[in-house]
């Protein structure tokens, strides 16, 4: 049995969680695309200037996209984000081997064909 304090807090918690998820989706589909596109453009000029830390950022964004898509909760822009991440990881793999590992094991080769992690 829940106390009154817990019952009163539950709707507020659900509302905060919903707002957080909505914000995360927006960040993934817009800023994730921006990051991947910027990294791709810079990598085309000189892949050696890009940090291997970028691989982890792109991997995290791809993981979020996969999660939302798997749940049928993807929003507009996520497919474009995944496509750009895939291309950017391929480019980064020319310099950083870890990008190849991330790309092969977790990021789909084709947008919309998401592999479970």
Structural contact between residues 47 and 99, judged by C-beta atoms closer than 8 angstroms = no
pLDDT at 43: 93
C-alpha distances out from residue 44 to 27, 62, 88, 95, Å: 24, 21, 10, 12
CA distance 117 to 106: 6
pLDDT at 79: 87
pLDDT at 96: 83
Choice between 100 and 16, residue whose per-residue pLDDT is larger? 16
pTM of whole model > 0.85?
Answer: no
The number of beta carbons lying within 10 Å of the beta carbon of residue 15 is 10
The number of beta carbons lying within 10 Å of the beta carbon of residue 35 is 19
pLDDT tens per residue across span 61-77: 999 998 898 999 888 88
pLDDT tens per residue across span 35-55: 999 999 999 999 999 998 999
């Amino acid at each position: 049995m829940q106390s009154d304090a817990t019952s009163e807090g539950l709707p507020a918690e659900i509302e905060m969680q919903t707002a957080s998820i909505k914000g995360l989706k927006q960040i993934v589909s817009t800023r994730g695309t921006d990051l991947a596109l910027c990294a791709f453009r810079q990598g085309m000029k000189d892949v050696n200037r890009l940090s291997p830390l970028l691989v982890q950022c792109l991997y995290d964004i791809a993981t979020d996209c996969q999660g939302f898509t798997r749940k049928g909760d993807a929003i507009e822009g996520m497919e474009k984000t995944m496509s750009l991440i895939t291309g950017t990881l391929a480019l980064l793999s020319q310099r950083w081997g870890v990008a190849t590992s991330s790309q092969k094991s977790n990021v789909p080769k084709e947008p919309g064909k998401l592999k479970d992690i």
